[in-house]
Amino acid sequence: MTIEQLKKDVRNVPDFPKKGIQFKDITTIVANPEELRFMCKQLADVYRQKGITKVVGIESRGFILAPALAMELGAGFVPVRKHGKLPYETIEVSYEKEYGMDTIQIHKDALGPDDVVLIHDDILATGGSMQAAIALVRKLDVKKIYVNCLIELIGLNGREYLQGENVDIDCLMEIEVDE
């Protein structure tokens, strides 16, 4: 198994969720057990010696691999969800994304000062949702934050958007927006 094989197996869905967007569908690679194991191992290997205590997954596709990463790293899983989806007391951040505004939340007791956090999402595009997730995690005063994604979409400048966040960013694959 190789990263190049994974990239070939990501399905492109044109004009989703709106005209002009080339959606990168990862369900094709997470459905394959070999590719799923390979991705989880590759993503986790970068962080095995970093002392990760919690993996934060961003709704919704960040929920696919974040729990598996948490298990691989011997850490807990913490969901970041859209407004109104978490049952306990929350804190929230609103942000602008490619197609409008959104608000995400985290339980106010989900993380603490002893936590070393890995924030995971499937794709780093423009960086808006990841920047909001970083802001949420920072509000809970954690020790250290790392960021990883399965795919970084080259050409949307998400990584540059996060440069001032003072976090380590790692993505398993780089794919051109129109690739």
Q: How confident is the prediction along the chain (179 residues), in pLDDT tens digits per residue? A: 999 999 999 999 999 988 988 899 999 999 999 999 999 999 999 999 999 999 999 999 999 999 999 999 999 999 999 999 999 999 999 998 766 789 999 999 999 999 999 999 999 998 999 999 999 999 999 999 999 999 999 999 999 888 878 899 999 999 998 87
CA distance 173 to 170: 9
pLDDT at 163: 81
What's this model's pTM, rounded to 2 decimal places? 0.95
pLDDT at 98: 67
24, part of any domain = no
Total of domains in the chain: 1
pLDDT at 165: 81
Q: What is the β-pairing status of strands 54-58 and 116-124? A: parallel
106, part of any domain = yes
Alpha helices in the chain (DSSP H): 3-9, 27-30, 33-45, 62-73, 128-139, 158-161
Residues taking part in catalysis: 61, 98
Residue 95, φ and ψ in degrees, nearest 5: -155, 160
pLDDT at 61: 93
pLDDT at 99: 67
32, part of any domain = no
28, part of any domain = no
25, part of any domain = no
In terms of residue numbers, what domain contains 88? 49-176
104 to each of 84, 96, 171, how far by Cα in Å?
9, 11, 22
The CATH number for 78's domain is 3.40.50.2020
4, part of any domain = no
163, part of any domain = yes
33, part of any domain = no
